[in-house]
Amino acid sequence: MIRELHEKLMSGEITAVKLAEQYFSNISKTDKDVFAYLTLTKNLAMEQAKKVDEKIARGEEIGILEGIPGAIKDNLCIEGVRTTAASKILDNYIAPYDATVITRLKEAGAVFLGKTNMDEFAMGSSTEKSAYGPTKNPVDLERVPGGSSGGSAAAVAAGEAVWALGTDTGGSIRQPASFCGIVGLKPTYGRVSRYGAIAMGSSLDQIGPLTKTVEDAAIVLSIISGEDKMDSTSAASPTKDYTQFLTGEVAGMKIGVVKDYMEKLSGGAKESLEKVIAKYKELGAEIREIELPNVKYSLPVYYVIMACEVSSNLARFDGVKYGMRAFDHKDTPLDFLPEDRTLIETYLDSRKFGFGTEPKRRIMLGTYALSSGYYDAYYLRAQKVRTLIKQDFEKAFGEVDLILTPTTPTPAFKFGEKTADPVQMYLEDIFTITANIVGVPALSVPAPEVEVDGKKLSIGFQLMAKWFDEENMLRAAYAYEVNRD
C-alpha cells in the first residue's frame, strides 16, 4: 500500500497535502464510531506534507515513506504534542522532545496524523482500560480492537491511517493486529530504540509497526530500527532494507509448530491455523513439530517481571516534576485545601487520583514482589525460569528457522466480556508473551477469517524467528500473504 501511494506521489497523481487531507476526512467520518485517536496533529501533518510537495515540485527524489500519513501510539513522545499514555496522570503532558523513532520518521519525511488510544500505560488487551474510553473494532463495532495498541490497529484497519506505530510488552502490537485483520510486528529486543517511549516493562518493551501489508511493515521497520546512543539496550546489529527479503519464496524453510499450543485451540481458530499450516506445506516449507517444555510458565514469569518493572518505571509519576498534581486537576475532589497538604500527601493523592485500577494493580503486585524478603522468591526465581524458557527457544532454533503459532486463542471478544476477572484478561496474551520474555522478533499476519454468530471475524497467526532474524520472518510472512487463497 505504501509503495503504491509513493508511486502516485512521484508521478504527481496525488500530492502529499491532498493525501493527508483525505485521511483527515476519513477520520472525521469514521472516528466518531471507532475512537482510534486521542489527539489529532493536523497543523504538524500539513506542514510535513507541504515540505514533501515542495521537494517533489523541485524534481527531487523522495524516500519511500515520505509524505505517507501514519498514526503514533500515545505513549511515544512527539515534541510539542500532548502525550498521555491514555492516563489522567499525564492528561496535560506536552512532550518536550522527540522519541528516537519519531526523529527517524521525521528524517524520512513521514506525516503524523495524530496520537492513538491505548490501554492506560499500555496495560491491557482491549483498550477498555484507557482513561478516555474504549476504541471500537472497525471489523465489528460491538467488539474490542484488542490492546494495548488498539487505537493504532483500529486506525489502520478503518482507513484512518496508512501505517501506525505501537508498543509491545506482552503482545500489545500483535494481538490488536490479529483482532483488526492487519499485520503487526514486534522486533527483536534492542532492534528499535526505546528512547522516548513511556516505559512499562523495560526488559520486555519494543516499538513496532502496524500496517495493512507485510511489505508496509518491512518499510516502516527499516526506517525505525538501528542502534541509538540514547538507549543503552539498543543493539549494534546492522539494520537492513527489509523489503529486499520479500521474495515470495519459502521452499526449504523449516517451520516449527508447537504441539501444546495446537491443543489449546478449538473451533474456527483451530481450522484457520490448520489452513495456514497447509498453505506453508504447499509452498514447500517443511513443518516440524517442536517442544518448548517451559513455555507453560510464561504467564507467571511475565506477570512477575513485568509488574516489578512497572512498579519501578511508574514511580516517576509523583505530581512533582510534570503531570497531574492532585489538587490542580479537575478529577480531584476538592475536599481539602492544597496548602494544608504535606509532600507525602501530595504523592499519595496524585497517584491515587491519577492512576486507573490496572496500573495500580500492577504497581501493587510489583511493589509486593520486590519488597524486603520476597525478592528471591518472586523476581529472582522468575528471571531464572526466564533463562530456562530462553534455552527452550535456543534448542528449537537449532532445529527450525521459524516458529508458527496462533496469535490469539480466539477472534475479538465483546466489550465487557473479560473485564471482571483480571486473570482472564491476562490469558489473552498466552501465545504472544513468550516472544517478549525471550526477546525474539514476532509478527502477526491475517489468517483465514473465523465465523462467530454469523459474522466473519479477523484472526491472525504468529511467526517468531531467531534473535535479529527479522528477514526470514518477513520473508515467510510475505510468501503467505501473496499466496493466500
Please tell me what DSSP assigns to residue 169: S
Angle 298-313/381-399 helices, nearest 10 degrees?
Answer: 130
Instruction: Count Cβ atoms within 10 A of the Cβ of residue 129 and give its class: 0-12 exposed, 13-18 middle, 19 or more buried.
Output: buried
Q: What nine digits make up the cell of 389?
A: 524458557
Closest among 449, 445, 467 to 458, alpha carbons compared: 449
Rounded to a whole number of angstroms, the minimum distance from the CB of residue 164 to other proteins is: 25
Instruction: State which residue, 303 or 461, has the beta carbon closest to other proteins.
Output: 303
- Enumerate residues 84-123 that contact other proteins by CB under 8 A: 93-94, 96-97
For position 344 contacting other proteins by CB under 8 A, the verdict is: yes
Instruction: State which residue, 240 or 360, has the beta carbon closest to other proteins.
Output: 360
Which is the catalytic residue, given 87, 152, 172, 298?
A: 172
Active site residue 172: yes
Q: Residue 460's beta-bridge partner residues?
A: 446
Q: Of the candidates 355, 431, 461, 480, which one interacts with other proteins according to CB under 8 A?
A: 355
| Dist. CA 3–CA 24, nearest whole Å | 20
> How many angstroms from the chain centroid is the CA of residue 344?
35
Q: Of the candidates 49, 139, 214, 235, which one interacts with other proteins according to CB under 8 A?
A: 235
Q: What nine digits make up the cell of 172?
A: 500489545
Give the per-residue contact string, 191-220, with other proteins (x = CB under 8 A; - = no). Answer: ------------x-----------------
The piece of 49-57, 185-193, 260-268, 444-452 that touches other proteins (CB under 8 A) is: 185-193
| Dist. CA 387–CA 389, nearest whole Å | 5
The piece of 27-35, 65-73, 162-170, 354-362 that touches other proteins (CB under 8 A) is: 354-362
Give the per-residue contact string, 428-447, with other proteins (x = CB under 8 A; - = no). Answer: ---------xxx--------
| Dist. CA 382–CA 392, nearest whole Å | 15
Give the per-residue contact string, 308-327, with other proteins (x = CB under 8 A; - = no). Answer: ---x---x--xxxxxxxx--
Q: Of the candidates 304, 403, 412, 452, which one interacts with other proteins according to CB under 8 A?
A: 304
For position 467 contacting other proteins by CB under 8 A, the verdict is: yes
Where do the H-state alpha helices sit in 229-356? 259-264, 267-282, 298-313, 343-354
Q: Of the candidates 300, 392, 417, 419, which one interacts with other proteins according to CB under 8 A?
A: 300
Which is the catalytic residue, given 130, 148, 234, 458?
A: 148
Q: Of the candidates 283, 385, 392, 417, which one interacts with other proteins according to CB under 8 A?
A: 385
How many residues would you count in the chain? 485
| Dist. CA 166–CA 188, nearest whole Å | 14
- Cell 505530581 appears where? 319
Task: Output phi, psi for 49, to 5 deg.
Answer: -65, -40
Instruction: State which residue, 22 or 336, has the beta carbon closest to other proteins.
Output: 336
Instruction: State which residue, 140 or 358, has the beta carbon closest to other proteins.
Output: 358
For position 368 contacting other proteins by CB under 8 A, the verdict is: yes
For position 347 contacting other proteins by CB under 8 A, the verdict is: yes
CB of 37 within 8 A of CB of 31?
Answer: yes
CB of 301 within 8 A of CB of 386?
Answer: yes
How far apart, in Å, do the first and last CA atoms of the chain sit? Answer: 19
Q: Of the candidates 14, 21, 63, 80, which one interacts with other proteins according to CB under 8 A?
A: 80
For position 303 contacting other proteins by CB under 8 A, the verdict is: yes
- Cell 473479560 appears where? 418
| Dist. CA 212–CA 71, nearest whole Å | 13
Residue 1 has a CB neighbour count (10 Å cut-off) of: 15
Instruction: State which residue, 118 or 301, has the beta carbon closest to other proteins.
Output: 301
- Which positions are annotated as active-site residues? 73, 148, 172
Residues near other proteins (CB under 8 A) are 79-80, 93-94, 96-97, 188-190, 203, 229, 232-233, 235, 294, 297, 299-301, 303-304, 311, 315, 318-325, 328, 341-349, 351-352, 355, 360-361, 363-365, 367-368, 371, 378, 380-388, 390, 422-423, 437-439, 467-468
